[in-house]
Structure 1
């Protein structure tokens, strides 16, 4: 077995991660970790169902090739695994409400779940295999992201596009029971596809929505190539032209250990309560509390928002307009705070009207500042403070030490609503039951199949 570059006895970082990931069994994970994986799957599907009619979703579906056996969520269309994963990832990202891992500044779920769902329809896969693969995928992408990403790097490159393909590739390798050599090559090949530029917040483009689509599609191809015998550069992380040298311009760490100290990175993932940028979440929640004390948003003279430096510096988060599209508004912390103060609620419809003069006035009188305390606590906590100065001299202030994540009950409620609108309430209920009982599924492909418009209840019963 090759264990490192020619002439070296050192085991590569990629191989070490592949070796440790493939050695795991479902029983190695705690009940809390398994429950988190299930809720993340429900959350992903909720977003995909709800965003299915958005322009970027329709565009992604339109370029998929018909035929094949992989489901495109919320449609009757079947396509190749790579094409289905692409479209499903774009839909899962379409609301900007996908799950978030703050330390890697990345959205792993919108790449991992489309990859695994597509693969589950190609090869029989037990439900326990599906869940374990996902947990390993989150772990891999998050651990690499923790080591690789900085706020400076994230201003230029999309973190999800850089590290999520690698996590999804190891997840797919585990799901398909590839050998250590093949899994190592799959991750290495996937690293060659790391991509995604952060120019879209400045230019008003919709590029962002497609980043996880490329990542999931490329992960499928990397796994397929490795399974077919392709040989990847296993020093792709630490090599002189590897991922760390290319993007961080620093040497890779000596080790990137999966499940270090028994901790699972998926437990550090939080599910967004707000359909907006990760960094706008806490500020919007603080603004919501202030809105309950406001009689009239017209009384506001000045707004000051304090947040971690990473939030202030992330592309588009400090944008004060003009906003060409809803995505720019969703990225903007000042807009999210202003619209929440004006409307007294947080919902998708907040980003439908970008020309509201009252809201734009509030944006214009908003200041966004980096706070030393919040910066020191990040990424362990993502705090924010909003201070509203009124024309009569009063000030309203609310501070949150950390974002308040959507609860499992919140996620189930919005899943039922979104899935029910597309596949009907009864089938949405059955899909939720399948995911809750995933460990008992002998063939996990029924989860993806139940997301199709043409899946029959008889097919569901016969496979369960």
Structure 2
């Protein structure tokens, strides 16, 4: 019934060039690149979980920079390493309206291909970034059944297809080539929900390595003329059939392509943890003004999307690894209350054993509230009981960082500067400033290949 959905989508994207992008979309792309590159650089110095991925990638010689390390690799392997860095600190941008971190695999893939091929200017990079991000968001918005029902973990899966399309578009492929790249990604993109349940794994931190590498592979194979499927998204065994039982809205997928660019509707994180924890960080920071000893108990209200951040409660109160702490409402809320801040430094492994934070986390319980203002996963509420019998009620409909409550440009630059200064090989302040200026004006860059080389 919907046999032409992928063709409609790819034809629309193939027809879009830089001159078709509104100035607001170009500005949004600059914000994405600034934020993403800073976060990857910080992870190179702060995320030991990514080191095996970096070391493996560096065994494949090539011209593509592994950010923050001074190392280079071939394009697929550089995307693999930078993808591992992109989510390792859980500090990258997010899309609140659907399950996606649309740029954590897209940016590594685009940078790797641009450095490998050469001759890619900022306008070409920006266009590919805008379109790849757009598709990732649309894929999630078009779902009529949660992918988790089939045992999948959607954010890196949804982002993978946008990364493949963006990479193929940057290589100059036509509509057929974009469809082929999406098909190639369908042969590679998986992420099991088991990633949420294993207590000791760090795969959740480095998960974007896999779709980032697959995006480069998909685009290069499509560019070589490898034919894909006719209907990779809507087919009888295509994406939506496999991941959502065929339950999706074709119109939500394709409506307004080229008119509305979802890269303008992203959230940039003020705190380095899962987006679903952010409303509870805000509440915790408000409670930090209260004597912690006065807090008898806290009951948080979460949406079904956030349930994974409180369940199982005993584990979430006392996480074993840093990435699990970042996916724990009790831990991050306790951290905010006890320390009055939530920064990159506050997720040092020693913080997980802090007896004061753990004691506060044990006072936090949870209940799931359906069909509420919290359903997007970007809001939250809490009922607090103090030792003197006083009760407080706190509600955050949408946490800070969202388009309705955005971080300002100065805040994003400050975040970038802080992140870049934490790289494994730390650039001097002048180099950090020059890279920030380049990222803010990426469309003016004549050769993307040279963008990060001076910093390594």
TM-score normalised according to structure 2 size: 0.90
- 1:456 match: none
- 2:275 match: 278
Work out whether residues 205 and 323 of structure 2, in 8 Å CA contact, stay in contact via their aligned partners in 1: no
- 2:404 match: none
Residues 1:424 and 2:403 are matched in the alignment: no
- 1:239 match: 235
Question: How many Å separate the matches in 2 of 1:317 and 1:38?
Answer: 39
**What secondary structure, in the 3-state scheme, does the structure 2 residue paired with 1:270 have?**
coil
- 1:30 match: 22
**1:140 alignment partner, one of 135, 138, 154:** 135
Residues 1:116 and 2:110 are matched in the alignment: yes
Aligned positions, number: 440
State the 1:156 CA deviation.
3.1
Q: Deviations over 1:226-258 (max 9, x none)?
A: 111101113121112111111111254334216
Cα 1:12–1:438 shift into 2, 3 Å: same
Larger RCO of the pair (alpha carbons < 8 Å, separation 6+) = 2
Question: How many Å separate the matches in 1 of 2:150 and 2:311?
Answer: 9
**What secondary structure, in the 3-state scheme, does the structure 2 residue paired with 1:387 have?**
strand
TM-score normalised according to structure 1 size: 0.89
Cα 1:314–1:359 shift into 2, 3 Å: closer
Cα 1:155–1:321 shift into 2, 3 Å: farther
Work out whether residues 318 and 331 of structure 2, in 8 Å CA contact, stay in contact via their aligned partners in 1: no
- 1:444 match: 448
Question: How many Å separate the matches in 2 of 1:284 and 1:85?
Answer: 32
**1:208 alignment partner, one of 199, 204, 208:** 204
Question: How many Å separate the matches in 2 of 1:377 and 1:345?
Answer: 23
Which deviates more from structure 2 when the two are superposed, residues 151-160 or residues 234-243? 151-160
- 2:439 match: 435
Alignment of 1:64-463 (within 5 A): 64=57, 65-121=59-115, 122-148=117-143, 150-151=145-146, 153=148, 156-204=151-199, 205-255=201-251, 256-257=253-254, 259-260=256-257, 262-292=259-289, 294=290, 296-313=291-308, 319-352=315-348, 353-372=351-370, 375-376=372-373, 378-379=375-376, 382-405=378-401, 406-421=407-422, 422-451=426-455, 453=456
State the 1:42 CA deviation.
0.8
Question: How many Å separate the matches in 1 of 2:409 and 2:208?
Answer: 24
Question: How many Å separate the matches in 1 of 2:308 and 2:324?
Answer: 15
RMSD of aligned C-alpha atoms? 2.2
**What secondary structure, in the 3-state scheme, does the structure 1 residue paired with 2:88 have?**
coil
State the 1:260 CA deviation.
4.8
Cα 1:59–1:261 shift into 2, 3 Å: closer
State the 1:418 CA deviation.
2.5
Question: How many Å separate the matches in 1 of 2:73 and 2:187?
Answer: 25
Runs of 5+ in structure 1 lacking a partner?
1-7, 454-464
Cα 1:367–1:449 shift into 2, 3 Å: same
Question: How many Å separate the matches in 2 of 1:314 and 1:152?
Answer: 17
Q: Deviations over 1:176-207 (max 9, x none)?
A: 11122111101111122121123233222111
Runs of 5+ in structure 2 lacking a partner?
402-406
State the 1:97 CA deviation.
0.9
Q: Deviations over 1:89-131 (max 9, x none)?
A: 1112111111111222111111111011111111311211111
**1:62 alignment partner, one of 51, 55, 58:** 55
State the 1:313 CA deviation.
4.6
Question: How many Å separate the matches in 2 of 1:45 and 1:265?
Answer: 20
**What secondary structure, in the 3-state scheme, does the structure 2 residue paired with 1:203 have?**
coil
Work out whether residues 77 and 213 of structure 2, in 8 Å CA contact, stay in contact via their aligned partners in 1: yes
**What secondary structure, in the 3-state scheme, does the structure 2 residue paired with 1:369 have?**
strand
**What secondary structure, in the 3-state scheme, does the structure 2 residue paired with 1:115 have?**
helix
Cα 1:311–1:251 shift into 2, 3 Å: closer
Cα 1:420–1:364 shift into 2, 3 Å: closer
Cα 1:162–1:407 shift into 2, 3 Å: same
State the 1:153 CA deviation.
1.4
**What secondary structure, in the 3-state scheme, does the structure 2 residue paired with 1:24 have?**
coil
